[in-house]
Every structure is written in structure tokens, then in C-alpha cells.
Chain A
């Protein structure tokens, strides 16, 4: 009864627009008042425990890295480098969009940052080159979903916080799914562009330009390699690796690209401060929610119900995908991870799914939610950039989102796609 009241309260508060962290806090408060007001003594303690983590320091530092790189003129250089990569295959800006997202994802760890940074340059450029605006915006938002799948990934850090899974192993678990989404989208983009004649004529490019673009692009590409290698091989913790990434970004911005200004560093710090706290306060209040779920043994009850119902495992897994996709359409990624992981991960573990596979599934599934209305953060950003209705952008993105759904199904039913690489770590 108290639990039902808590969930009902949570839904009402979310509907009236209470920020998610405070909505969770208020509904948790309601539960404690109804069951045992003595529990209230633990209220601040649980919130505190949700924010006190050395590993999660990596989150603001990865955000800061992305901000510094963005202010360093990295985006344009990355696009030029991607252009060079797709050139031998006769690709155009559509393919560049996908390749840039794959590389950018390895730097920012965020899909929304990907849409913002790449979309603001690529959508206007694509329109100028004759691509329909709907296609340009669609491929931009769809490819930006790769940003949070390819490591480093900010949502993965949050999942590591609630699940206790190893950050290094989680990063590796996302690598193959991220590349798969990229490659399938790339093939589709190539097919559509070729059929509709979007590919531009090859222009000559001198050797000096090729060398300069390659140098600039390779330096940026070093960033994700550095992070993945240091974290996965245990050379550094996620936080230390993020610190190294900040230093690398600052050196590139100040001394190599020479476009970073001190004033912009201040702005990047402020933006990181706001973004990180808006996520972490949800993380703090979610600990109350997680504790209540454990006290009430909700995951065990759901698991027992499913096992007793004799529902085949494949159907349970399919339900998991559907639940993630549905929740992703109206909840933002991080709150969704924080809310559903404590409930569904123990349930899925009863059906033999590992925490790494669950992590990969939830990340790939929720990334799709970023580009589906009504709550799609990437759609909102793209809508501001190109002044289009989000539904129109969604229609443009739909063929590419199907690639994401195919990959989601593959990683759901072929565990090796997410668990093989981490297993090599031992």
C-alpha cells in the first residue's frame, strides 16, 4: 500500500513538473512518513551516500574535457578529419556525420553534446550541399546516439554507481555495440545517399592539407584511445583517466590548436558545475528510492512472479527492451538509469543476464529515447539548431533509429557482443 502510494506520488509529481531529484525525494519522504517516521533520520544520510563517490568524479571531468575540446575548435577539425576518412569511399557529409559522431562520442561521452557541437556545423553545411534539411537533422540526431554508447560514457558511469559494476569493463561492454550502431548507420547512409545522389563530386586536395588535417584529427582521436587504454588495463581509475583527459584537452586547446581562451575555461567550468550537479542531485535522492526498493524486496517479488509465471527467458528479455524503449520516450537517460536499474538488474540477473550485458542494453536502449518524442533531448537541441518541429526531425531519423533497434536486439540475445571484450580483462 505504502509502496503504491509512493509510486503514485512520484508519477503525480513528475507530471506537475517537479524536478526529478526532488520528486523522488518527496515520494520517498511520503513512504517514510506512512511506514515509519523514524526512517526519516536516515533521509540525509542516504542522499549523502549517493553523492559521495570518488569514481563518479570522472563524470564532471569528462564533461569538462568535452567543453574544453569544444572551445578549442575541435569540432571543425574532427569533421575535416572524418571527411578525409570517408573520401576513398566517395562518401559525403552524411557519412561524415556518422564517423564524426563515433569519434566525438569517444571524447565527450554525451549524445546531447554530440548533437549540439556537430549539428550546429554539419546541419547547415549539409543543407548548403543539397541534402534535405529533414535528412540532415535526422542523421545528426540518430548518429549522436553513438556518443553515449562508445566509451567514455557519462551514463555508464551513473550505471556503474548504482550497479557496482566495473567502469573499465562497462566501457568495453559498450565498445562493440557502439561500433555496430555506427557501422549499420554508415551503411544505410551510404545506400540512401547513393540512391538519391547526395554524394558530392570529389574535389582535389593537396598533400599539405591532408597532412595537417590528419595531424589535427589524430591528436583528437588519441583522447578516447588514452581513456579506454588507461581505464580498461587498470593503469588508472576512471577519475584519474578523466583528469588526464582534462589535461590533454587543455594542452591541445592552449598550445597545439591555440584556440582556447581563459575566459572560455571559466565558462566551461560553470557549465560543468551546473550539468554535473543536475545529474548528481538525482543520484543522491535515488539512494532513498533504492533503499526502499531493497527494504520492500521489490526486485525479488518481480523476479519470483516472472519465474512462477513460466514466461520464457527470451520473452522476459524482449519485455526488458520494450520497457527501456517506452521509459526512454518520456524520461531522460540518467534519471531512467538511476530509477530502473535497482529494480530490473536483480530481476534480470535471476534470468542469467550479467550486469555488463544489462548495462549495454540499458545504454543502447535509452540512447534511442534521446531521439524519440515527446522527451528527446537530442531532438530538442536539433530543433533549436535548424528550427524544425521535433516530429519532423524524428521522421528523418527513423530509418537510422531502426539500426539502433537492430543492435539493441542483437546485444539482448547475443550476450557475447557486450561481454566478450570485458572477459578478456579477466
Chain B
């Protein structure tokens, strides 16, 4: 079980790095082509936007596992442990409900308008929209993992990066 979770974590991490890398290189290349060689690809803007959308949905899924989502934690921090645990479970339940709605209605949306072809690239919009059901399935998976984590041992995720302040942090000695 732990191996499976860490495997998915790693896959999403690599995917995320690749997506942001493609985004950066894609924008840089299109700028150079446009300003230096006067070549502009109409489709590049759309494709880069889709890469960006993919970073949002997959990153949000992994963010659930790595605790990176922005939330107001001050109130729960003051709660007794039992209530805190209840709030944690409720939080995950709400995330599962919203994700389930996203999956169900995004599939309906794909069925309805998915065959509409994008004028710039000729790609059916349904391929783009499929990012939603796929990423929200992963979101539900991580929400369940977070609930299980309250009752059994599940390995912590490997973030792989340091916070900025850790980069140059020095040990503070003395207090003037």
C-alpha cells in the first residue's frame, strides 16, 4: 500500500516538473521564434495554456497529499485532538464530494461538447477536458489516503525541495 502511494506521489512529482519545464521552455521558445525569427505558431498559445491547466489540476491533487493547499488552520489548531480529528475527516469528506461532482459533471460535459474541435490546433476539446475527471480521481484517492492516515501508518510524502528560508538559514546564536 505504502509503495503504491509513494509510487503515485513520485509519478505526479515527475509529471509536475515536466509540465512546468515544458511551460517555461515553450514560452521562451515561442518568444524567441516570434521576436527573433518573426515566426508565430497560433497553436502554441493554446497548447501552453493546456499544459498550465494540467499543472493546476494535477498539482492540486498532489497538494492534498503534501499538505500544500491554502487553508485557514488557526481555528483547528486551537481545538482539542478529538475535534481536530473530526474536522480533518470532514475536510476530506467535503473534498471527496466536490471531486465526485467534478468527475460526474465533467464526464457529462465531455459527452456533450467534447467533440467540438479547437480552431487553433484541430484537437477535440474533450481531450483537454479529460484532465478534470482524471485529476479529480487522484484527488479522491489522496483524500481517502489522508483519512486512512489518521488510523494507520502511511509514509510521509517526499517533497524533494527545501523552503526558501532553509536555503540560507544560519543558526542564530544569542539574543541581543
**Interface residues in chain A, defined as those with a beta carbon under 8 Å from any beta carbon in chain B:** 13-23, 25-26, 29, 40-41, 43-45, 47-48, 51-54, 56-57, 60-61, 64, 70-71, 75-76, 113, 115-117, 119-121, 123-124, 127, 130-133, 236, 239-240, 242-244, 246-247, 266-282, 284, 330-332, 334-335, 374-375, 381, 384-387
Contacts and interface: CB of A to CB of B under 8 A. Distances in A.
B72 A270 contact: no
B7 to A, nearest CB: 17
Contacts, number: 242
A34 to B, nearest CB: 14
A75 B132 CA distance: 39
Contact of B59 (A53, A115, A278): A278
B105 to A, nearest CB: 5
Label chain A's interface by main secondary structure.
helix
B72 A17 contact: yes
B94 A23 contact: yes
Interface residues on B, range: 35 or more
Contacts of A121: 168, 170
Interface in B32-69: 34-35, 45, 48-50, 52-53, 55-60, 62-64, 66, 68-69
Interface in B89-119: 90-91, 94-95, 97-98, 101-102, 105-106, 108-109
Given A113-B164, A244-B31, A124 B49 contact: no
Contacts of B70: 19-21, 278-279, 282, 332, 334-335
A120 B169 CA distance: 5
A133 B175 contact: yes
Nearest to A333: B70
9 contacts: A19-B71, A19-B91, A23-B94, A26-B97, A26-B98, A56-B52, A70-B164, A127-B175, A273-B55
B170 A48 contact: no
A39 B118 CA distance: 25
Given A17-B91, A48-B129, A274-B62, 16 more contacts: A15-B76, A19-B70, A48-B132, A61-B27, A64-B24, A116-B165, A132-B176, A240-B31, A246-B28, A266-B17, A273-B20, A275-B68, A276-B55, A278-B59, A375-B74, A385-B165
A332 B68 CA distance: 13
Contacts of B176: 127, 130-133
A17 to B, nearest CB: 4
Given A18-B95, A57-B23, A276 B161 contact: no
B109 A54 contact: no
B75 A15 contact: yes
Given A57-B49, A116-B165, A267-B161, A242 B21 contact: no
B162 interface: yes
